[in-house]
Amino acid sequence: MKILNNIIKLTRLPLLLLVVAIQLVTHYCIVEPMVKHADGEVQMGTLPLTLCVLATVFTALGGFFVNDYFDVKIDRINRPITRIVDLFVSRDTIFNLYIGVTTVAVVSAGVLSYIASAFDYFFIFVAVVGLLWFYSSSYKRTPWGSLLLAVAVAMIPVIVCMYDNWFILMHEVSMLIGQESMVALTAFLNNILTKAVVFGVLLAAWIIVVDIIRAMIEEKGEREMECHSLPIVYGHTVAKVVCYVVIALAAVGCGKVALESTAYLSTKAINYFLFTIAPLSIGLCFQLKKSKIRLDYMICTGIIYAVAIFMIVFVMFLGYYYE
């Protein structure tokens, strides 16, 4: 039972729930409202959507496990007493769990792609699995490792939108629509995809800050293991400046989305941004500036996750009023 409890801790359940929430709001609050507004119907049913969410969640879970697998030596230095892997759960067990959950992810993606007849999309999941392995095994220990993780995060809303669009496109093709209608449909689906890409890019920007903060927290162990993360190569001051810049860009991006949403939400969109994401972004910068110990940096991470939740809620409001 103790081993099971420790394995559950390694799943980072709150983060997995965030992944589920991101994909569901993308489907129900971005794609569906836009399609219904155009007098259409979403064609991706419950089973394909469930398979897409399962494949994404288990891919993320595999990423968590493989990250823990490769971080054992660093964790021995940074968390000699509180670490879980190699202390309460063996490294071999973690690797076997990684194989198991990754298999579930790949099989789910394979079945989904078979149902959709979109086999090219299957390889996106395979690529992300490889990307997370490469990130955990080596790339996270470089100054640019955060960018690789950001790509994986950006795909969370994008992949479900891609499948949504594909099901709509296949349905319309089966109806033998004309060339002009096909051109208009393609433009419409690209517009939907653009919304999902913007959502994904903004989430990715915040995750870059999270990863840089993680590197600052784990600097002692990473330095001992001769890693070359951003804080080690350029120092904490430069790492924090990079965080400030990314935070500013992400906040401006969220503000731009809010401004463009006034057509549907009136002043509610701007007010929502000014009273949630904007103050949290400013508070994050001040908190990061004074951060010196692990607890300080963990507060920064908590603020970023709060921003992510507020972004999800905003998309929910946008979907509701768009209809």
pLDDT digits (tens, 9 = 90+) for 87-114: 888 899 999 999 999 999 999 999 999 9
In a domain, 63, yes or no: yes
Asked if residue 315 lies in contact with residue 160, where contact means CB atoms within 8 angstroms, the answer is: no
In a domain, 277, yes or no: yes
In a domain, 188, yes or no: yes
In a domain, 161, yes or no: yes
Indicate whether 322 pLDDT > 70.
Answer: no
Under the banding of pLDDT at 50, 70 and 90, the label for residue 1 is low
- Tokens linked to 227: 């890693």
| Model pTM score | 0.94
Q: In this structure, what are the phi and psi dihedrals at residue 67, rounded to the nearest 5 degrees? A: -65, -45
For the chain, the domain total comes to 1
User: Residue 204, SS3?
Assistant: helix
Cα→Cα distances 279→85, 87, 284, 285, 288, Å:
37, 40, 8, 10, 14
Asked if residue 163 lies in contact with residue 55, where contact means CB atoms within 8 angstroms, the answer is: no
In a domain, 33, yes or no: no
In a domain, 14, yes or no: yes
Picking from 202, 288, 287, 292, the residue whose alpha carbon sits closest to that of residue 240 is 288
Under the banding of pLDDT at 50, 70 and 90, the label for residue 179 is confident
What proportion of the chain, given as a percentage, has pLDDT over 90?
A: 69
State which residues form the domain around 204.
2-28+38-322
In a domain, 103, yes or no: yes
Under the banding of pLDDT at 50, 70 and 90, the label for residue 54 is very high
Quick one: angle between helices 13-25 and 46-70, nearest 10?
A: 150
How far, in Å, CA of 96 to CA of 65, rounded? 9
Picking from 281, 221, 208, 235, the residue whose alpha carbon sits closest to that of residue 76 is 221
Residue 78: its pLDDT value, please?
85
Asked if residue 27 lies in contact with residue 49, where contact means CB atoms within 8 angstroms, the answer is: yes
In a domain, 233, yes or no: yes
pLDDT 10s digits, 148-176: 999 999 999 999 999 999 999 998 877 76
Q: Name the CA dihedral angle for 292, 284, 231, 85, rounded to a multiple of 10 degrees.
A: 80
